[in-house]
Amino acid sequence: MEQTEGRPHYHPEQEEMPFAVVLGEPLATPPTDLYIPPDALEVFLDAFEGPLDLLLYLIRRQNLNILDIPIAEITDQYVQYIEMMNELRLELAAEYLVMAAMLAEIKSRMLLPKPVTEEEEGDDPRAELIRRLQEYERYKQAAEDLDGLQHMTRDTFQVHAELVDRHVEAREPDVVLREVLLALQDVLHRADMFTSHRVEKEALSVREKMSYVLQRVNAGEFIRFTDLFVISEGRLGLVVTFLAILELLKEALLELVQAEDFAPIHVKAKLS
């Protein structure tokens, strides 16, 4: 993201961007002789997110491949920056000093004549540093990518329409059938009804039909017995209806009336 406003955000690849502003004068690049006006140093340091960031800058500024750092040169530059900041008594995070020490060590190892023999041979002291630089750089990039995503309240906004007359209605409890059945199981345990002869496969459709018949035969009115049967329900349906009527008779909820032999049977509710 080439976001430039109001941020001490340093972009190595964008040389024309003021690198620092000193006494009102924009400073496009840090002087190559490393001279930085003291006032700018603090700004300069602020622009970096730690020693890895500073090192990356030193490398990128010279268009160098990260995998091929001229360690001596970079170390010298780095150490000079650090010393200068030390002299100016700028508060310097300890990490910068640790890095300086590490660089100095790598440099000294690089300067040593390569041992002719054994294991030491394969060991480039720069490898670990390179790995860390790469690792840091990818997240530095990821942070910029993140900033480049659409931000809420910066690039887009959640919208909202008014709900006039909004009333919070009390919700009715939700019930899962399972809860009802578990409750029933409890009752059954308590009532010890499992042995009841009423426990039959057909029981529920008969019960349902009983309710249906009761609703049909509203109190007081006679209704033809045959009208209670729904032919389209088929043989099983007829049987269930018949059982329901018998059950209702047994429970004294229905009354059957036949005026004479072979006359139509009428049904009356014994409800009140």
Partner 1 sequence: MPDEDRLKQIVEAALLAAGRPLALDQLQALFEVREQPEKKQLREALAMLSEAYQGRGIEVAEVGSGFRIQVRAEFTPWVSKLWAERPPKYSRALLETLALIAYRQPITRGEIEDIRGVSVSTNIVKTLTEREWVRVVGHRDVPGKPALYVTTKEFLDYFNLKGLNELPTLAEIRDLDSINRELELVDPETESQPKPASHESE
What residues between 155 and 194 interact with partner 1 by CB under 8 A?
Answer: 155-188, 190-191, 193-194
Q: Please report how close the Cβ of residue 93 comes to partner 1 at its closest, in angstroms.
A: 6
What residues between 191 and 230 interact with partner 1 by CB under 8 A?
Answer: 191, 193-194, 196, 198-201, 203-205, 207-208, 210-211, 214-215, 218-219
Task: Tell me whether residue 13 or residue 169 sits nearer to partner 1 (CB atom).
Answer: 169
CA distance 62 to 55: 11
Q: Please report how close the Cβ of residue 225 comes to partner 1 at its closest, in angstroms.
A: 18
**AA identity, residue 205:** S
Question: Would residue 164 be called left, alpha or beta, if left means φ above 0 and alpha means ψ between -120 and 50 degrees?
Answer: beta
Size of the site for partner 1 (CB under 8 A): 113
- Contact stretch for partner 1 (CB under 8 A) within 22-30, 50-58, 81-89, 221-229: 50-58
Q: Please report how close the Cβ of residue 34 comes to partner 1 at its closest, in angstroms.
A: 22
- Residue 156 CA: distances (Å) to CA of 24, 144, 145, 150, 250: 35, 18, 17, 7, 73
Task: Tell me whether residue 25 or residue 179 sits nearer to partner 1 (CB atom).
Answer: 179
Question: Cα dihedral sign for 93, 95, 97, 103?
Answer: negative
Residue 112 binds partner 1 (CB under 8 A): no
Buried b (16+ CB within 10 A) or exposed e, 82-112: bebbeeeeeebeeebeebbebbeebbeeeee
